[in-house]
Amino acid sequence: MNTFARFDKRANLPRNMIENSMFEEEPDVVDLTFPTLDPDEVAYEPRSSRLLVRGLGENDMDDDEEDCESSARLLGMSFMNRSSSHRSSSSPYVRQSPPRSCSRPSARTMVVCVFLLVIVASLTMVLYFLPGCTFTKAGCPQPNKTTPLEPVYPNSTNGELFPWAELRLPHSIRPLSYDLTFTPDLDSMTFTGKAAIEMSVLHNTKRIVLHAANLNITKATFKARDVTVLEYKPRQQIAVKFPEELKTDQQCVLTFEYNANLSHSYDGFYNNLQLLMWTQFLFPYFLIFKTTFISLHVGLVAKTTLLSSGLEQDEFEKTNVNMSTYLVAFIVANFTSVSSSASGTNVSVYSVPYKKEQTGFALDTASKLLQFYNKFFEIEYPLKKLDLVAIPDFLAGAMENWGLITFRETTLLLDNNSSSFEKQVVASVIAHEIAHQWFGNLVTMSWWNDLWLNEGFATYMEYMSLQEIMPSFDTGYLFLTVRFRALDKDALNSSHPVSTEVNTPEQIEEMFDSVSYEKGASILLMLNASLPEEQQFKKGIIRYLKSFSGLNTETVDLWNSLTQVSNPRKNISEMMSLWTSQKGFPLVTVSRKGDMVTFSQEPFLLTSDNTTKAPRQWNIPITFVNDSCSLAPACRQMFNLSKKSGTVLKVPESVKWLKLNYKNTGFYIVDYGQDGWSAIHDALSENINVLTAEDRASVIHNIFALSRLGRVPFVRVCQLLSFMPNETETAPVTEALLQLNSIYRLLDKRQESDLAARMKDYIQHQFGSLMESQTWEEEESLSKQELRSALISTACALNDEGYVAKAKSLFKNYTDSNFTSKIPGDLQQAVFTVAAQSDDGWQTLFTLYATTTNDAQKRKILKGLASTQDPHRIAWILKAGLSGDIIQTQELPLIINTVCNGFAGYLFAWDFIQVNWDRLIEKFPVGSFAIQTIVKSTTSQFSTQVHLDQVQAFFSSLKQRGSQMRSVQEALETIRLNKRWIENNLEAMRKLS
Assess whether pLDDT exceeds 90 at residue 212. Answer: no
Within the chain, all domains assigned CATH 2.60.40.1730 are found at 71-76+153-328
681 assigned binding-site residue: no
Specify whether the CB–CB gap between 766 and 721 falls below 8 A: yes
The residue type found at 544 is Y
For 320-357, how does the pLDDT look when each residue is reduced to its tens digit (9 = 90+)?
777 776 787 778 888 999 999 999 999 999 999 999 99
Average pLDDT over residues 868-873: 96
Q: How far apart are CA 778 and CA 775, in angstroms?
A: 8
The pLDDT of residue 533 is: 79
Query: CA-to-CA distance for 791 and 28, rounded, in angstroms?
Result: 40
Give the pLDDT mean for 376-390: 95
How crowded is the C-beta side of 877, counted as CA atoms within 13 Å? 31
pLDDT of residue 55: 28
* Sign of the Cα pseudo-torsion (256, 257, 262, 264, in order): negative
Comparing C-alpha atoms, which of 366, 359, 362, 182 is closest to residue 278? 182
State residue 322's pLDDT score. 78
Residue 257 CB contacts under 8 Å (≥ 6 apart), including other chains: 192, 193, 194, 217, 218, 219, 220
Identify the H or E element spanning 865: helix 855-866
Question: What per-residue confidence (pLDDT) applies to 20?
Answer: 33
pLDDT confidence band for 503 (50 / 70 / 90) = confident
Secondary structure letter of residue 326 according to DSSP: G
Determine if residue 629 is left, alpha or beta; phi over 0 gives left, psi from -120 to 50 gives alpha, anything else beta: beta
How are beta strands 251-261 and 216-222 bridged, if at all? antiparallel
> What CA–CA distance (Å, rounded) separates 309 from 315?
18
pLDDT-based confidence at residue 191 (cuts at 50, 70, 90): confident
Report which of residues 667 and 180 the model is more confident about: 667
Pairing of strands 586-593, 552-553: unpaired
Rounded distance between C-alpha atoms, residue 658 and residue 78, angstroms: 53
**pLDDT computed for residue 962 by the predictor:** 92
26-76 pLDDT per residue, tens = 333 323 232 333 344 333 333 333 333 332 222 333 333 333 222 222 222
- In order of 33, 174, 416, the CA distances from 249 in angstroms are 21, 10, 61
What digits encode the pLDDT tens for the residues 100-113?
A: 333 344 444 433 34
CA-nearest of 553, 380, 563, 591 to 457 is 553
Q: For residue range 291-328, what is the model confidence (pLDDT) as tens digits? A: 667 777 777 777 777 877 777 777 777 777 777 767 87
Q: Which amino acid is at 326?
A: Y
Whole-angstrom distance, CA of residue 339 vs CA of residue 348 = 4
* Parallel/antiparallel/unpaired status of strands 70-74 and 237-246: unpaired
Model confidence over 701-743: pLDDT tens digits? 999 999 999 999 999 999 999 999 999 999 999 999 999 999 9
Q: Which long-range contacts (CB under 8 A, 24 or more apart) does 579-582 make?
A: 579/498, 579/523, 579/526, 579/618, 579/667, 580/452, 580/497, 580/498, 580/499, 580/523, 580/555, 581/497, 581/498, 581/499, 582/497, 582/616, 582/618
Tens-digit pLDDT profile for residues 554-600 = 999 999 999 999 876 778 998 899 999 999 999 999 999 888 999 99
Do 459 and 409 contact (CB within 8 A), yes or no?
no
Per CATH, domain 586-711 is 3.90.199.10 = no
Q: Residue 540: helix, strand or coil by DSSP?
A: helix
Q: Cα–Cα distance between 484 and 526 in angstroms, integer?
A: 14
The amino acid at residue 323 is: M
Query: Can you tell me the distance from the alpha carbon of 4 to that of 199, in angstroms, rounded to the nearest whole number?
Result: 11
Would the annotation count 297 as a binding residue?
A: no
- CA dist list (Å): 510 to 171, 257, 496, 922, 941: 27, 35, 10, 17, 22
Looking at per-residue pLDDT, the higher value among 350 and 417 belongs to 350
Q: What H or E segment, with its residue span, contains residue 811?
A: helix 801-816
Q: According to the model, what pLDDT value does residue 372 have?
A: 98
Please spell the DSSP secondary structure of 20-52, one letter per residue.
Answer: TTT-SB---BB----SSB-TT-------SSEEE
3-state secondary structure 884-924: CCCCCHHHHHHHHHHHHHCCCCHHHHHHHHHHCHHHHHHHC
Query: What does the pLDDT read at residue 269?
Result: 57
Residue predicted with more confidence, 140 or 593: 593
Question: d(Cα 105, Cα 539) in Å, to the nearest integer?
Answer: 75
Per-residue model confidence (pLDDT) at position 263? 63
pLDDT at 934 over 80: yes
Report whether 436 belongs to an annotated binding site.
yes
Share of the chain above pLDDT 70, in %: 80
**Phi and psi at residue 597, in whole multiples of 5°?**
-120, 125
Residue 287 confidence class, pLDDT cut points 50, 70, 90 = low
**Secondary structure (3-state) at 867:** coil
Whether 433 is catalytic:
yes
The segment(s) of the chain belonging to CATH 2.60.40.1910 are 586-711
Residues 6+ apart with CB under 8 A from 446: 32, 33, 34, 81, 83, 552, 553, 554
Confidence of residue 268 (pLDDT cuts 50, 70, 90): low
Q: Which of 25, 69, 433, 506 is catalytic?
A: 433
Q: For residue 520, is pLDDT > 90? A: yes
| Average pLDDT over all residues of the chain | 82
Given this structure, which CATH class describes domain 869-992?
mainly alpha
> How far, in Å, CA of 576 to CA of 566, rounded?
14
Tell me the CATH architecture of domain 71-76+153-328.
Sandwich (2.60)
* Bond preceding residue 568 cis, omega within 30 of 0: yes
Burial label, 531 (beta-carbon count in 10 A; 0-12, 13-18, 19+): buried
Q: Is the dihedral of CA 828, 829, 833, 834 positive or negative?
A: negative
